Structure 1
Amino acid sequence: MSEVAVIGPGSRVVMHFSIKLADGSAADSTKVHGKPARLTIGDGNLTKNFEDCLLGLKAGDNEEFTLQPEDAFGKPLPENIYHIERARFSSDTPAEVGAIIAFSQPDGREVPGIVREITGDVVTIDFNHPLAGQQVTFAVEILSVEAS
């Protein structure tokens, strides 16, 4: 009889997951698009805390894990809030409260920011992760595990 692979460091995992907020609303789900997530434990795609929750699971397991903000997407950091002159926005990319805008970094990467407030000629942009500060529940359905 063959041994069942369990998730450990370096395991390749295929799974469906959903992220639910404390109020029960869904923030994300792979099932919406019918495309499971594929990842390797330790590759940096997931936070260490989330990976730790997966350790020891095997194909067929369905689990839920509730993580506090500091263990999930972190707490919002004041240094990730920027105030930018409204004149720097164009008609192609207008500053509107709630809009998510991609900002180019000097190294060419794009970082999304959320327009939080517009006061006169100043636009407040929040570069914190949209789920920062939120308690989240991860529900996972492990489809397959390949040990490293």
Structure 2
Amino acid sequence: MSEAKSGDTVKVHYTGTLSDGTEFDSSRGQEPLEFTLGQGQMISGFEDAVLGMALGENKTVTLASEEAYGERNEAMVQEVPRSAIPPEIELTEGMLLQAQGPDGETLRFTVADFNEEAVTVDGNHPLAGRDLTFQLELVQIA
């Protein structure tokens, strides 16, 4: 039976949950997730879990935060003047904002708090610092 190896393009159905059982993402009811193993397209623990899986195999893995989106970095939480946000943007807690970094890269922030004077933005991935559990099903190897 064929097993997934580095360089293979695979299709995987997955459901991701937090330690309390809350589902944060799933491909069920949609097209399976397609990616190439060994290309760094996925978080390391997810890719490592798929390596060696057989076609049609199902498994559940729990990834420590280091294997997923890393630990939270409090230095990535900053307060910026409200005037730095375009006035037409109606802020809400939890909303995502984008900005352009000094090297032209796209930076993503979550609004953590705001008032008339300042906005607290969090540059951590929303799942940083969390252990993640994935139910995986390998549906195609190419």
Quote the Cα distance in structure 2 between the aligned partners of 1:96 and 1:107: 28
Aligned-residue CA RMSD (Å): 1.6
1:35 to 14, 31, 34: 31
Please tell me whether the aligned partners of residues 89 and 95 of structure 1 are also in contact (alpha carbons under 8 angstroms). Answer: no
SS in 2 for 1:60: coil
Counterpart of 2:73 in structure 1 is: 77
Deviations 1:55-87 (A, max 9, x none): 210211111101111221111112211211011
Please tell me whether the aligned partners of residues 102 and 110 of structure 1 are also in contact (alpha carbons under 8 angstroms). Answer: yes
Counterpart of 2:83 in structure 1 is: 87
Counterpart of 2:119 in structure 1 is: 123
SS in 1 for 2:28: helix
Counterpart of 1:52 in structure 2 is: 48
Counterpart of 1:136 in structure 2 is: 132
Counterpart of 2:23 in structure 1 is: 26
Deviation (angstroms), 1:105? 2.3
Aligned residues: 142
Counterpart of 1:15 in structure 2 is: 12
Quote the Cα distance in structure 2 between the aligned partners of 1:96 and 1:57: 42
Please tell me whether the aligned partners of residues 58 and 144 of structure 1 are also in contact (alpha carbons under 8 angstroms). Answer: no
* Structure 1 residue ranges without an equivalent (≥5): none
Quote the Cα distance in structure 2 between the aligned partners of 1:29 and 1:98: 21
105-114 or 75-84, larger mean C-alpha shift: 105-114
Are residues 1:99 and 2:103 paired? no
2:24 partner letter: A
TM-score by length of 2: 0.90
